[in-house]
């Protein structure tokens, strides 16, 4: 693949205020929620004066956990009683979801990751040709697609870039035409030189190339200490799952939240940081990044928002022996009115 043009890359890392492949073994049935969740209520958390909305796409099927985190066996899960019933069932099956987060910092209307997408050809039957209410959920939260100013992509995997585009008259076009999409330069340049199989090439054709062709993708240099791209919005390098993976830090009035991306797929990785994903590019680096972030968050008031954590989705990191556990912080729910 031809390396992307760097002409789109911003000259600084400040954003101007407004503007997986072989997974066919997984079943295509999504699990029901562990606890009753009101579909007519919108989940959110507050960080200072910032409201962070969870934009639900779909629960992932039960077979996802054993495939994605093979070392998180039923026996391992059973040892962590606090995981049940929300994060795992009584048989030790992990619960995982696909969702995004949306919020406003300053005057920027921000979306972090864009899920799987609708109507897309995917090797994984759980992700193939979905028809979810994601865009309606986003609109209900107060973020209709045309209003989004900034889309932050933690990395370029299929289940994080899908709603970058939607199909219009047989063509894949940017879902958020007034937004700048950003990811790390390291991430995009890695995939530009990667020998992709057909399934991954398809994902780039329908979900990455159209935003590049429209001139909407900016590549950000993310140094070891992270970079602030707007007041209260910081990108932190957390490589390993992919070489350019980033987590997203949101801060306001001395309050902080961190959106994990795929650095931490599931809360079971807090007591067992060595448990990695079967699709980590560099498992040792992923573990090192995970341990470093957890150490920085432990015993602080920082809110952790898991990109694949099921409801209640958020929590605070507390020490447990020589590792950690998550103390859940359930969302507030606002009644939906249309």
CA dihedral 207, 242, 63, 72 (to 10 degrees): -160
Residue 337 pLDDT > 90: no
Residue 280 pLDDT > 60: yes
Element (H, E) at 290: helix 283-297
Distance (Å, whole) CA 105 – CA 68 = 33
Two tokens, residue 320: 């447990």
How high is the mean pLDDT of the chain? 91
Distance (Å, whole) CA 180 – CA 218 = 7
pLDDT at 184: 98
How many residues are present in the chain?
A: 338
What value does the mean pLDDT take over residues 332-338? 85
- What distance lies between CA 24 and its chain's CA centroid? 22
Residue 202 pLDDT > 70: yes
Distance of CA 107 to CAs 14, 17, 67, Å? 14, 6, 41
Contacts made by residues 284-291, CB under 8 angstroms, sequence distance 24+? 284/240, 285/239, 285/240, 286/239, 286/240, 286/241, 287/240, 288/240, 289/237, 289/238, 289/239, 289/240, 289/245, 289/263, 290/238, 290/240, 290/263, 290/264
Residue 1 pLDDT > 60: no
What value does the mean pLDDT take over residues 162-177? 98
> How much of the chain, in percent, has pLDDT values that exceed 90?
86
pLDDT at 2: 27
Residue 10 pLDDT > 60: no
**Residue that is written with structure tokens 């932050």 in the block:** 152
pLDDT at 31: 53
Distance of CA 59 to CAs 14, 78, 291, Å? 34, 21, 27
């Amino acid at each position: 693949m031809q390396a992307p043009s760097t002409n789109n890359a911003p000259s600084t890392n400040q954003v101007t205020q407004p503007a997986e492949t072989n997974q066919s073994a997984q079943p295509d049935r999504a699990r029901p929620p562990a606890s009753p969740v009101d579909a007519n209520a919108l989940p959110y958390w507050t960080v200072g004066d910032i409201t962070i909305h969870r934009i639900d796409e779909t629960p992932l099927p039960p077979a996802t956990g054993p495939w994605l985190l093979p070392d998180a066996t039923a026996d391992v899960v059973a040892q962590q009683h606090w995981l049940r019933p929300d994060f795992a069932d009584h048989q030790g099956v992990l619960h995982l979801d696909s969702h995004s987060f949306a919020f406003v910092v300053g005057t920027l209307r921000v979306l972090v990751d864009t899920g799987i997408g609708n109507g897309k050809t995917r090797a994984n039957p759980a992700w193939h040709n979905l028809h979810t209410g994601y865009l309606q959920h986003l609109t209900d939260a107060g973020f209709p697609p045309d209003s989004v100013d900034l889309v932050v992509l933690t990395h370029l995997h299929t289940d994080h870039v899908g709603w970058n585009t939607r199909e219009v008259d047989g063509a894949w076009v940017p879902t958020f035409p007034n937004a700048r999409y950003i990811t790390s330069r390291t991430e995009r340049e890695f995939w530009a030189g990667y020998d992709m199989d057909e399934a991954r090439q398809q994902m780039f054709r329908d979900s990455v190339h159209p935003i590049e062709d429209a001139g909407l993708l900016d590549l950000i240099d993310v140094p070891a200490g992270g970079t602030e791209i707007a007041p209260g919005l910081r990108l932190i390098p957390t490589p390993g799952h992919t070489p350019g993976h980033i987590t997203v830090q949101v801060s306001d009035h001395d309050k902080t939240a961190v959106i994990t991306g795929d650095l931490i797929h599931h809360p079971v990785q807090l007591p067992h940081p060595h448990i990695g994903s079967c699709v980590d590019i560099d498992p040792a680096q992923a573990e090192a990044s995970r341990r470093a972030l957890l150490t920085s968050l432990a015993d602080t008031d920082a809110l952790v928002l898991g990109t694949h954590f099921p409801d209640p989705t958020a929590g605070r990191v507390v020490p447990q022996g020589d590792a950690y556990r998550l103390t859940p912080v359930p969302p507030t729910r606002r009644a939906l009115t249309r």
